[in-house]
Amino acid sequence: MHEQIENEYIIGLLQQRSQTIYNVHSDNKLSEMLSLFEKGLKNVKNEYEQLNYAKQLKERLEAFTRDFLPHMKEEEEV
């Protein structure tokens, strides 16, 4: 009986860890950041577009850092 409870507890922890890792890896925020960066490198032609792109990139990078990095920390802790 004790071993069965232990096994169920361990399985529960593994399922929780698996879900956490899946959530982190299914997050497309990193892909979005890379896409925005590549788009900017290809499409920015004049100074106005450079400033606009720089502002967009800064805002997105701040949001990415605020939202994505805690997920990575959570994955490391699991």
| Range 25-30 average pLDDT | 62
Q: Which of 45, 67, 48 is nearest to 56 (CA)?
A: 48
pLDDT at 60 over 60: yes
Q: What is the torsion angle, in degrees rounded to the nearest 10, for the CA atoms of residue 72, residue 73, residue 77 and residue 78?
A: -30
DSSP assignment string, 52-77? HHHHHHHHHHHHHHHHHHHHHHHHHH
pLDDT at 25 over 60: no
Q: What pLDDT, on a 0 to 100 scale, did the predictor assign at position 21?
A: 59
Q: What pLDDT, on a 0 to 100 scale, did the predictor assign at position 45?
A: 82
